[in-house]
Structure 1
């Protein structure tokens, strides 16, 4: 018992240390990102502006353009990574991810349909955009789940991934067809959105996304023990008294809602939900009490870094954040795929 207590204490201390380091890295990139753009602000100018000084121009640049985008990139990265952690835990498949499984595509299709009905992409009710995206993500998830389910066998993790990839490809083709029918202004918006550009860059978008994370993340943390038990397998979970199908559905609904809300604001960003949980698992282990917050921090770190690089590498030209995230995530996905085959 004493040895177990020491081991648990050491594991907790390691997790706290890792998460503290991740938070410090986010803070450092946050500072760097505030000074990344066509117009540079010196450290002194940034500090003065942050604490109420600075010129009107500096205040506009920092508070109206850069800070909302930085905050959104952290929130979207955290939400997508936690969504990926849930999907990997429920399906027990290392390749599960809201982008790969087609959930992001379903959310994106709902957003594009909304843009098709509103000639101005911001004319629709802004705070309903996450709900609209969640509805699209939910319909895609229901379709994938029903096509993956086999009576008497349940859900096969490999079948789930393959069906998700197929559904995602079909939805992506439909989105391309719909986007071609849009007028030039809306087509430009949709093209940028599909490439994974963080298009919500003011505080209204932060307020549209934040409530969903505040509601869903604590609920998922509350279910951390359930995710731990699900990792032991279906028979063990049932033997321990877990209502398997009910818990699985609620957790899947939470993952879909998180991904949908993030996609509504952040665009079609992939791979964050895949590599965030994997990196966090290597750092803090598989216990979800540590894995979930570590994944949120890792996802936030990946996306704020990708967004900062997207604005910095080819200044004054900006590239979509999703492309940078794909450059980071695609090689890791191929590595995981090769390891799964072996």
Structure 2
């Protein structure tokens, strides 16, 4: 009976979130420089637009919308996994330093390695994953104790320390680089959605399409890991193996997302919390809600930010931080 009620509630919330996403996508396609009225938007979508309308919609707005939506989903899923395996509701790929590790790898790759325009969009997530994985390994090692296992509070503190140190390293890397490339890194740090082209959509989509079903498959293990190691071991969960596999999944999702959107924080913190408040803490119920919530949050922030101030707008990372910063402080005080 409880499961049936939960499933019905989940279906209702998923429908509401889908409507919100559809409405935000419609707004994102319509407003902005070279605005499209509803009739012209529908006509262009059906293949009857002018050359300018086709360019604006299919080459500029739609790929940006798709990238933003997928990146928000990936960050929310990453945050859900991290909060489960660390038993820490403040865990987020941006807060614990994973995004900073990906940023250092991307900065070094972009500034000091030859770039191939044909493969750049597909190589970049792999480079970010490598940097984020090394960072996550160090954070895990410094947070783990043989006597007490993984210490959730220590993980956030160590992650924050690594984030600060890696941000300093990034400044050192760009201090002697070409100023044109430095401009790109500055936009990346601000969370400016820069990978707004179809190759970046295709490079990001497989990460979400493969790792979301895997996470849902591991929902029961995540439920047990989020409770206590002793309970998980007693239930037959291979704690060490599953935690490392899920940590790698979270790192891969966050790295793939920030490689095309820049340094976006707090989406992975807020979306899981909102989903848990709606439907509870069991991963099979709240993870799908968190994924859609994360996609909508980042899409909404980017849609508002790019139309709020002319001509270049406000980066989505800053818009999310304006909401996520106070929310993080609220959770910190609450916990």
Shorter-chain TM-score bucket reads over 0.9
Q: What pairs up with 1:246-325 in 2 under 5 angstroms?
A: 246-325=241-320
Does 2:168 correspond to 1:173? Answer: yes
Does 2:301 correspond to 1:338? Answer: no
Following the alignment from structure 2 to structure 1, what is the Cα–Cα distance between the partners of residues 225 and 333?
25
Does 2:239 correspond to 1:244? Answer: yes
Aligned residues: 335
User: Which residue pairs with 2:105 in the alignment?
Assistant: 110
**TM-score for both structures, normalised by structure 1:** 0.95
Following the alignment from structure 1 to structure 2, what is the Cα–Cα distance between the partners of residues 136 and 55?
44
In structure 2, stretches of 5+ residues that fail to align are none
Following the alignment from structure 1 to structure 2, what is the Cα–Cα distance between the partners of residues 219 and 328?
30
Following the alignment from structure 1 to structure 2, what is the Cα–Cα distance between the partners of residues 174 and 28?
41
Following the alignment from structure 1 to structure 2, what is the Cα–Cα distance between the partners of residues 124 and 108?
19
With 209-218 and 164-173 compared, the bigger mean Cα shift is at: 209-218
Following the alignment from structure 1 to structure 2, what is the Cα–Cα distance between the partners of residues 166 and 87?
17
Find the partner of 1:66 among 56, 61, 68.
61
Following the alignment from structure 1 to structure 2, what is the Cα–Cα distance between the partners of residues 315 and 45?
23
Does 2:163 correspond to 1:152? Answer: no
Change (3 A) 1:330 1:121: farther
Does 2:177 correspond to 1:182? Answer: yes
With 111-120 and 169-178 compared, the bigger mean Cα shift is at: 111-120
Q: Residues 6 and 285 of structure 2 are in contact (CA less than 8 Å); yes or no, is this contact kept in structure 1?
A: no
Following the alignment from structure 1 to structure 2, what is the Cα–Cα distance between the partners of residues 126 and 24?
30
Following the alignment from structure 1 to structure 2, what is the Cα–Cα distance between the partners of residues 119 and 131?
16
User: Which residue pairs with 1:3 in the alignment?
Assistant: none
Change (3 A) 1:289 1:272: same
SS in 2 for 1:269: coil
**TM-score for both structures, normalised by structure 2:** 0.97
SS in 2 for 1:152: coil
CA RMSD of aligned residues (A): 1.3
Following the alignment from structure 1 to structure 2, what is the Cα–Cα distance between the partners of residues 118 and 189?
15
Find the partner of 2:193 among 186, 192, 198.
198
User: Which residue pairs with 1:230 in the alignment?
Assistant: 225
Change (3 A) 1:127 1:242: same
